[in-house]
A and B are shown apart, each in its own frame.
Chain A
Amino acid sequence: ETGVTQSPTHLIKTRGQQVTLRCSSQSGHNTVSWYQQALGQGPQFIFQYYREEENGRGNFPPRFSGLQFPNYSSELNVNALELDDSALYLCASSLKGQAEAFFGQGTRLTVV
Protein backbone atom coordinates (compact mmCIF):
# COMPACT_ATOMS: atom_id res chain seq x y z
CA GLU A 1 0.00 0.00 0.00
CA THR A 2 1.36 3.41 -1.00
CA GLY A 3 -0.89 5.59 1.11
CA VAL A 4 -2.34 7.19 -2.04
CA THR A 5 -6.07 6.62 -2.35
CA GLN A 6 -8.30 7.36 -5.32
CA SER A 7 -12.05 7.45 -5.65
CA PRO A 8 -14.12 6.13 -7.14
CA THR A 9 -12.48 2.89 -8.26
CA HIS A 10 -14.80 2.44 -11.23
CA LEU A 11 -17.08 4.83 -13.07
CA ILE A 12 -19.32 4.69 -16.12
CA LYS A 13 -20.29 7.93 -17.84
CA THR A 14 -22.09 8.91 -21.01
CA ARG A 15 -20.40 10.80 -23.83
CA GLY A 16 -20.70 14.55 -23.29
CA GLN A 17 -20.95 14.32 -19.50
CA GLN A 18 -18.49 15.69 -16.98
CA VAL A 19 -16.56 13.70 -14.37
CA THR A 20 -14.53 14.48 -11.24
CA LEU A 21 -11.94 12.04 -9.93
CA ARG A 22 -10.37 12.41 -6.52
CA CYS A 23 -6.99 11.61 -5.02
CA SER A 24 -5.69 11.72 -1.49
CA SER A 25 -1.91 12.04 -1.45
CA GLN A 26 0.49 10.26 0.85
CA SER A 27 1.02 12.21 4.03
CA GLY A 28 3.71 14.88 3.69
CA HIS A 29 3.80 14.85 -0.12
CA ASN A 30 3.48 18.27 -1.74
CA THR A 31 3.35 17.24 -5.40
CA VAL A 32 0.60 15.36 -7.20
CA SER A 33 0.56 14.22 -10.82
CA TRP A 34 -2.22 12.70 -12.89
CA TYR A 35 -1.76 10.12 -15.62
CA GLN A 36 -4.05 8.47 -18.16
CA GLN A 37 -3.35 4.83 -18.95
CA ALA A 38 -5.11 3.20 -21.89
CA LEU A 39 -5.29 -0.58 -21.99
CA GLY A 40 -1.93 -2.09 -22.89
CA GLN A 41 -0.15 1.27 -22.86
CA GLY A 42 2.10 3.15 -20.49
CA PRO A 43 0.73 5.97 -18.34
CA GLN A 44 0.51 9.32 -20.15
CA PHE A 45 1.27 12.49 -18.15
CA ILE A 46 -1.75 14.82 -17.91
CA PHE A 47 -0.52 17.47 -15.47
CA GLN A 48 1.18 18.09 -12.15
CA TYR A 49 0.34 20.30 -9.19
CA TYR A 50 2.80 21.62 -6.66
CA ARG A 51 1.61 23.67 -3.70
CA GLU A 52 -1.80 24.20 -5.35
CA GLU A 53 -0.36 25.56 -8.62
CA GLU A 54 -0.24 23.74 -11.94
CA ASN A 55 3.42 22.88 -12.51
CA GLY A 56 3.50 21.28 -15.93
CA ARG A 57 1.03 19.87 -18.41
CA GLY A 58 1.12 17.10 -20.96
CA ASN A 59 -0.52 16.97 -24.37
CA PHE A 60 -4.12 17.02 -23.16
CA PRO A 61 -6.86 19.47 -24.17
CA PRO A 62 -8.18 22.17 -21.80
CA ARG A 63 -11.27 20.10 -20.98
CA PHE A 64 -8.90 18.20 -18.67
CA SER A 65 -8.43 20.38 -15.60
CA GLY A 66 -7.39 19.91 -12.02
CA LEU A 67 -7.09 21.26 -8.54
CA GLN A 68 -4.84 20.69 -5.58
CA PHE A 69 -6.10 21.61 -2.13
CA PRO A 70 -4.19 22.94 0.92
CA ASN A 71 -4.10 19.43 2.39
CA TYR A 72 -2.48 18.32 -0.92
CA SER A 73 -5.45 16.21 -2.00
CA SER A 74 -6.36 16.67 -5.63
CA GLU A 75 -9.11 16.47 -8.22
CA LEU A 76 -9.07 15.74 -11.94
CA ASN A 77 -12.03 17.11 -13.89
CA VAL A 78 -12.86 16.11 -17.43
CA ASN A 79 -15.59 17.96 -19.35
CA ALA A 80 -17.42 16.93 -22.50
CA LEU A 81 -16.37 13.29 -22.18
CA GLU A 82 -15.42 11.43 -25.34
CA LEU A 83 -15.32 7.69 -25.94
CA ASP A 84 -11.50 7.85 -26.15
CA ASP A 85 -11.37 9.14 -22.58
CA SER A 86 -12.10 5.60 -21.43
CA ALA A 87 -8.97 4.60 -19.51
CA LEU A 88 -7.41 4.06 -16.10
CA TYR A 89 -6.66 7.39 -14.42
CA LEU A 90 -3.75 7.28 -12.02
CA CYS A 91 -2.76 9.76 -9.38
CA ALA A 92 0.82 9.85 -8.10
CA SER A 93 2.14 11.80 -5.15
CA SER A 94 5.71 12.67 -4.36
CA LEU A 95 7.97 15.08 -2.56
CA LYS A 96 9.26 17.81 -4.85
CA GLY A 97 12.75 16.87 -6.00
CA GLN A 98 12.45 13.19 -5.03
CA ALA A 99 12.52 10.57 -7.78
CA GLU A 100 10.09 8.09 -6.28
CA ALA A 101 6.43 8.63 -7.12
CA PHE A 102 3.72 6.75 -5.23
CA PHE A 103 0.75 5.74 -7.32
CA GLY A 104 -2.82 5.10 -6.28
CA GLN A 105 -4.80 2.13 -7.58
CA GLY A 106 -6.50 4.31 -10.14
CA THR A 107 -10.01 5.05 -11.31
CA ARG A 108 -11.25 2.97 -14.22
CA LEU A 109 -13.42 5.33 -16.33
CA THR A 110 -15.64 3.93 -19.04
CA VAL A 111 -17.37 6.35 -21.42
CA VAL A 112 -20.32 4.92 -23.34
Chain B
Amino acid sequence: GQSLEQPSEVTAVEGAIVQINCTYQTSGFYGLSWYQQHDGGAPTFLSYNALDGLEETGRFSSFLSRSDSYGYLLLQELQMKDSASYFCAVRHNTDKLIFGTGTRLQVFP
Protein backbone atom coordinates (compact mmCIF):
# COMPACT_ATOMS: atom_id res chain seq x y z
CA GLY B 1 0.00 0.00 0.00
CA GLN B 2 0.87 3.66 0.02
CA SER B 3 1.09 5.78 3.13
CA LEU B 4 2.51 9.09 4.28
CA GLU B 5 2.89 9.99 7.92
CA GLN B 6 3.07 13.49 9.37
CA PRO B 7 2.49 14.87 12.86
CA SER B 8 -1.13 15.89 13.26
CA GLU B 9 -0.44 19.20 14.96
CA VAL B 10 2.45 21.56 15.68
CA THR B 11 2.41 24.81 17.67
CA ALA B 12 4.98 27.60 17.73
CA VAL B 13 5.33 31.31 18.43
CA GLU B 14 5.91 34.13 16.00
CA GLY B 15 9.52 34.40 14.88
CA ALA B 16 10.31 30.79 15.72
CA ILE B 17 11.43 27.96 13.44
CA VAL B 18 9.37 24.83 12.99
CA GLN B 19 10.09 21.56 11.17
CA ILE B 20 7.32 19.30 9.85
CA ASN B 21 8.47 15.77 9.13
CA CYS B 22 7.06 13.36 6.57
CA THR B 23 7.82 9.68 6.09
CA TYR B 24 6.39 7.77 3.18
CA GLN B 25 5.91 4.27 1.82
CA THR B 26 4.90 4.20 -1.79
CA SER B 27 5.62 2.71 -5.17
CA GLY B 28 6.36 4.83 -8.23
CA PHE B 29 7.99 7.63 -6.23
CA TYR B 30 9.05 10.58 -8.37
CA GLY B 31 9.39 13.38 -5.85
CA LEU B 32 8.00 14.95 -2.68
CA SER B 33 5.86 18.07 -2.74
CA TRP B 34 4.61 20.33 0.03
CA TYR B 35 1.32 22.21 0.01
CA GLN B 36 -0.20 24.77 2.37
CA GLN B 37 -3.94 24.97 2.93
CA HIS B 38 -5.68 27.64 4.98
CA ASP B 39 -9.10 26.80 6.44
CA GLY B 40 -11.66 27.00 3.65
CA GLY B 41 -8.97 27.58 1.04
CA ALA B 42 -7.30 25.72 -1.77
CA PRO B 43 -4.02 23.85 -1.34
CA THR B 44 -1.14 26.04 -2.50
CA PHE B 45 2.17 24.68 -3.76
CA LEU B 46 5.16 25.47 -1.54
CA SER B 47 8.08 23.32 -2.57
CA TYR B 48 9.23 20.20 -4.41
CA ASN B 49 12.19 17.83 -4.06
CA ALA B 50 13.02 15.28 -6.71
CA LEU B 51 16.61 14.69 -5.55
CA ASP B 52 18.18 14.33 -2.12
CA GLY B 53 19.05 17.54 -0.38
CA LEU B 54 17.67 20.89 0.62
CA GLU B 55 15.58 23.27 -1.49
CA GLU B 56 15.22 26.82 -0.20
CA THR B 57 12.44 29.22 -1.16
CA GLY B 58 12.43 32.32 0.98
CA ARG B 59 11.40 31.51 4.55
CA PHE B 60 10.50 27.93 3.56
CA SER B 61 12.93 25.08 2.91
CA SER B 62 12.28 21.45 2.11
CA PHE B 63 14.54 18.44 2.46
CA LEU B 64 14.44 14.96 0.99
CA SER B 65 16.28 11.73 1.69
CA ARG B 66 15.14 9.11 -0.81
CA SER B 67 17.14 6.32 0.88
CA ASP B 68 15.29 7.01 4.16
CA SER B 69 11.90 7.71 2.53
CA TYR B 70 11.86 10.88 4.58
CA GLY B 71 11.45 14.56 4.06
CA TYR B 72 10.71 17.69 6.02
CA LEU B 73 9.46 21.22 5.58
CA LEU B 74 11.26 23.93 7.54
CA LEU B 75 9.48 27.19 8.19
CA GLN B 76 11.58 30.07 9.52
CA GLU B 77 10.66 33.45 10.99
CA LEU B 78 7.13 32.25 11.60
CA GLN B 79 4.31 34.71 11.08
CA MET B 80 0.68 34.54 12.20
CA LYS B 81 -0.38 34.07 8.57
CA ASP B 82 1.58 30.79 8.49
CA SER B 83 -1.15 29.19 10.65
CA ALA B 84 -2.56 26.60 8.26
CA SER B 85 -2.48 22.91 7.40
CA TYR B 86 0.63 21.60 5.65
CA PHE B 87 0.58 18.49 3.50
CA CYS B 88 3.40 16.44 2.12
CA ALA B 89 2.50 14.66 -1.10
CA VAL B 90 4.30 12.02 -3.10
CA ARG B 91 4.38 12.85 -6.78
CA HIS B 92 4.20 9.86 -9.11
CA ASN B 93 5.64 9.72 -12.61
CA THR B 94 2.11 10.28 -13.93
CA ASP B 95 2.00 13.56 -11.96
CA LYS B 96 -0.70 12.26 -9.61
CA LEU B 97 -0.25 13.31 -5.98
CA ILE B 98 -0.72 11.08 -2.95
CA PHE B 99 -1.25 13.31 0.07
CA GLY B 100 -0.52 12.77 3.73
CA THR B 101 -3.13 13.48 6.37
CA GLY B 102 -1.70 16.92 7.02
CA THR B 103 -0.11 18.83 9.89
CA ARG B 104 -2.04 21.67 11.46
CA LEU B 105 0.33 24.49 12.40
CA GLN B 106 -0.79 27.06 14.95
CA VAL B 107 1.35 30.15 15.38
CA PHE B 108 0.85 32.16 18.55
CA PRO B 109 1.88 35.77 19.19
CB within 8 Å of B: which residues of A? Answer: 2, 4, 31, 33, 35, 40-45, 48, 55-56, 58, 90, 92, 94, 96-106
Contact = CB atoms under 8 A, between A and B. Distances in A.
Contacts of B71: none
A41 to B, nearest CB: 6
- Report, as a range, how many residues of chain B touch the other chain: 20 to 34
Given A33-B96, A104-B42, A99 B50 contact: yes
B100 A42 contact: yes
Contacts, number: 65
Contacts of A104: 42
Which of A31, A55, A101 counts the most B-chain CB atoms under 10 A from its CB? A101
Contact of A48 (B50, B87, B95, B98): B95
Contacts of A43: 43, 87, 97, 99
A10 B97 CA distance: 24
B60 to A, nearest CB: 14
B95 A94 contact: yes
A42 B104 CA distance: 11
Given A99-B48, A99-B91, A100-B48, A45 B43 contact: no
A103 B43 contact: yes
Nearest to B43: A103
A56 B101 contact: no
Contacts of B87: 42-43
Contacts of B92: 56
A105 B37 CA distance: 10
Contacts of B48: 99-100
Which of A35, A43, A48, A56 counts the most B-chain CB atoms under 10 A from its CB? A43
A38 B48 CA distance: 24
Contact of A45 (B45, B98, B101, B102): B98
A39 B41 CA distance: 13
